[in-house]
Amino acid sequence: MKITIALVGDSQVGKSKLLQSIKNEEAKPSYVPRTTTEFTINYSIKKGQSLEVQFYDTIGGYDYNYTRPKIYSKCKIIWLCYSITQPSTLSNIISKWKPEVDRSSSKLVVFLVGLKADLRKDPDVIQNLSYSQQEPVSPQAGIKIAHDLNAVKYIECSSVSHKGIDTLIHQSVLALSDDSSKSDKKSDKSDKGCLLM
């Protein structure tokens, strides 16, 4: 079995750093991808059993509006990614990214992913946002938006501490490998927008 996942969202919200963390590569602070990148890992389900998980790191620029849907057509799961330190990137999930994904296919399994969770309480981040009367996105706000978007789950991650990353991959695998979870997504609304840290 093979699971394909596309990371979608504004540029510089942390998508590439998240994948670097998954690959256990050292983060490159100034790295900006110029083209869609992909790689595959073997994910262990249980002893003696594993599956392939293939990731696509999409580019958020308008120049790639035509090419991104081609990536979506190859995937089963979408991670809608935004930065907890930039509330505007969550707004763009609502206004741009989720509609773009929906136009490609209504059958994709969608997760809302809050990145840079380690910076939510950073004094510099809080101060800079205060100048525009904003604050880091709260977990409660993420859960609400995930529910509004009909996302399977809301999960927060940190590429620095690796917090939440294993959970995100595990839940993505479960979303496709467990037949009961497929029916639960439609009928059990209490599971939508679940915050897993």
Q: What is the pLDDT of residues 43-75, one digit of tens each?
A: 887 777 788 999 999 887 776 777 888 899 999
What the block records as the tokens of 19 is 């994948």
List Cβ neighbours of 181 (8 Å cut-off, separation of 6 or more): 174, 175
List Cβ neighbours of 163 (8 Å cut-off, separation of 6 or more): 117, 118, 156, 157, 197
pLDDT for res 47 = 74
At position 186, the amino acid (one-letter code) is K
Average pLDDT over residues 29-45: 70
CATH 3.10.20.30 applies to domain 2-196: no
Average pLDDT over residues 20-49: 71
- Strands, E assignment, 47-184: 49-57, 77-83, 109-115, 153-156
Residue 180 predicted with pLDDT over 70: no
Q: What is the pLDDT of residues 109-134, one digit of tens each?
A: 999 999 999 999 999 999 999 999 99
Tell me the pTM: 0.85
pLDDT for res 53 = 92
In the chain, where the domains are located = 2-196
